[in-house]
Amino acid sequence: MGYFENIVVGFKIALQLENIFFCFVGVFLGNLVGVLPGIGPLATISLLLPLTFHFSPVTAVIMLAGIYYGSMYGGTITSVLVNIPGEPATIVTCLDGYQMALKGRAGPALGIAAFGSFIAGTLSLFGLIFLVTPLSSIAIRFQAPEYSALILMGFAVLIYMARGSKLKAGISTVVGIILSYGGIDTLSGKTRFDYGVMVLKDGVGIIPLAIGLFGVSEILLNIEKSNTYMVIKTNIKSLLPSLKDWAESKWAILRGTLIGFLLGIIPGGGAIVSSFVSYTIEKKLSRYPERFGTGAIEGVAGPESANNSACSGAFIPLFALGIPPNVVMSLLMGALIIHGVTPGPLTMKEHPEIFWGTVASMYIGNFILLVLNIPLIAIWVRILRIPYYILFPLILLFCLIGTYSINNQTTELIVMTIFGVVGYLGKKFDFEMAPLILAFVLGPIFEQSFRQSLIISDGSFSIFITRPISGIFVVAAFFLLLGSLLSRFKKKRTVLVR
């Protein structure tokens, strides 16, 4: 089938009543959790994952993906009106978005963010459509050494792209890999690291781990602070940006789309990094860089387009290679595996309806989000005013129910609580949790392919270098790790000089 036929099939699937409904539920929930600080798409996807067991795989992915890109829209509202990022990917939006709101231009800031996200979401879908198929056909030739080298590069990117300490990102990554070893070893059949505890016989579950690290820990972090946030009192008259606003934003939107899409593909990149990169580039390219930070509309349009575009780009490595480039994608991969579908190069042939149905639903979802965010903005502003003391008990209860409903085991609730504490302490000590969970998902694929490679090569590590594709990945990983190491020394030197 050609692209056109595939797209038609995709829309046929996405336009089924059930899929439209769950697409709406997904983007609505995504927008909602994006608006509310303290709960993000990760926690929400983790919570709703067990509920999707009753759905078909395509419906499950449509809803979960909707939560992901929907949260990018919602996070903007909080960034602009409260100066607190609803989502980490909308941190930079605070810089100029809030300043615009203070000047009485909250409407155009929210408007350009919504339109920019819609344009970026739409354009990046074309990139997704045209890149996945050729990449899948290349990836079919991938064998164990290529997979292990690619994942090794992914780990290196995770460490290199870390926002804080690269050493701590490295530790998080290795801890994630170690946690993934629990359960039955597929090659030897031995049970590892169960310590006689029944719940650990199958290893640590991704749901209690993710809900603990991202849901519970966020609540604990928020509850320990006594300060509350204030929604700016501004009159949002019109959300439609003026012609001048469009003229100032059009290139920022297009550049943001491209940056987001490309960074979304790279493992460890994604929405957060791309929004920062887009902001930096816009500031550098601007004729008036001094305007940035004082309410420049390009400073909102670029990053907002980038973070939305990154969401689409992130689907490429998942569907073409079977490798999730970020944590949300790792949860989507988990959802597909639970449904008996292992994402990878063969997914496009074996389950084309999942990919094309999801792509088509994303277009529909972006349109729904535009409607939800432009005429219905007042509803989101009201939701933003719900006090946290009402929200947090509900979120905690959903965390408990979400975890319990997977296997109906109370021991998994204890595992969730333990990882909630681990996540809380980890974040208190500036350890990033995203590398941990991504490494947890990639760890088993990495170990299995690495061990298979060593068996094939009779114990020779040269197999990773002599094969051209894996060689490129290994060299890239080496330079990325070297770069991380050098940046650590450079930082230390700067501190000592100061």
Partner 1 sequence: MPSGKKDLFPGLFILGFSIFIASSALKLGIGTINDPGPGLFPFISAVFLFILSSSLSLGSFKDRVSPDVSKSEVRYGKVIFIIASLLGYSLLLDFLGFLLITFIFMFVLFLMGLRKTLTSALVGGIITTISVYILFGLLLGVSFPKGILGLWIK
Tell me: does residue 367 bind partner 1 (CB under 8 A).
no
Which of 10, 41, 74, 170: binder of partner 1 (CB under 8 A)? Answer: 170
Can you tell me the distance from the alpha carbon of 297 to that of 108, in angstroms, rounded to the nearest whole number? 8
Can you tell me the distance from the alpha carbon of 352 to that of 447, in angstroms, rounded to the nearest whole number? 28
Of residues 273, 274, 266, 299, the one with CA closest to residue 285: 299
> Please, which residue, 29 or 106, has the CB nearer to partner 1?
29
Of residues 143, 142, 139, 169, the one with CA closest to residue 156: 169
Q: Give me the least distance between CB of 470 and partner 1, in Å please.
A: 18
3-class secondary-structure state, position 103 = coil
What are the φ/ψ torsions at residue 98 (nearest 5 degrees)? -65, -40
Tell me: does residue 475 bind partner 1 (CB under 8 A).
no
Q: Which residue has the tokens 């979304």?
A: 264
Alpha carbon 435 to chain centroid, angstroms: 12
Can you tell me the distance from the alpha carbon of 498 to that of 487, in angstroms, rounded to the nearest whole number? 16
Contact by Cβ (8 Å): 144, 449? yes
What are the φ/ψ torsions at residue 488 (nearest 5 degrees)? -65, -45
Which of 405, 465, 472, 476: binder of partner 1 (CB under 8 A)? Answer: 405
* 68's tokens: 């992901």
> Please, which residue, 340 or 459, has the CB nearer to partner 1?
459
Q: Give me the least distance between CB of 56 and partner 1, in Å please.
A: 16
Tell me: does residue 290 bind partner 1 (CB under 8 A).
no
Which of 199, 451, 471, 476: binder of partner 1 (CB under 8 A)? Answer: 451
Tell me: does residue 421 bind partner 1 (CB under 8 A).
yes
Options 83-91, 113-121, 234-242, 418-426: segment touching partner 1 (CB under 8 A): 418-426
> Please, which residue, 218 or 282, has the CB nearer to partner 1?
218
Q: Total residues contacting partner 1 (rule CB under 8 A)? A: 65
Q: Give me the least distance between CB of 94 and partner 1, in Å please.
A: 18
Question: Exposed, middle or buried, 180 (CB in 10 Å: 0-12/13-18/19+)?
Answer: buried
> Please, which residue, 166 or 283, has the CB nearer to partner 1?
166
Q: Give me the least distance between CB of 188 and partner 1, in Å please.
A: 4
Interface map 198-217 toward partner 1 (x if CB under 8 A): ------------------x-
Contact by Cβ (8 Å): 324, 330? yes
Q: Is 410 left (phi over 0), alpha (psi -120 to 50) or beta?
A: alpha
Contact by Cβ (8 Å): 417, 199? no
Which of 417, 427, 472, 483: binder of partner 1 (CB under 8 A)? Answer: 417
Tell me: does residue 171 bind partner 1 (CB under 8 A).
yes
Chain positions 215 to 254 lying near partner 1, rule: CB under 8 A, are: 216, 219-220, 223-227
CA distances from 189 to 199, 202, 205, 265, 444 (A): 18, 12, 19, 34, 14
> Please, which residue, 295 or 420, has the CB nearer to partner 1?
420
Tell me: does residue 462 bind partner 1 (CB under 8 A).
no
Of residues 384, 448, 389, 484, the one with CA closest to residue 159: 484
- List contacts with partner 1 (CB under 8 A): 51, 54, 164-165, 167-168, 170-171, 174-175, 177-178, 181, 185, 187-188, 190, 192-193, 216, 219-220, 223-227, 387-390, 392-394, 396-397, 400-401, 404-405, 408, 410-411, 413-414, 416-417, 420-421, 424-426, 429-431, 447, 450-451, 454-455, 457-459, 495-496
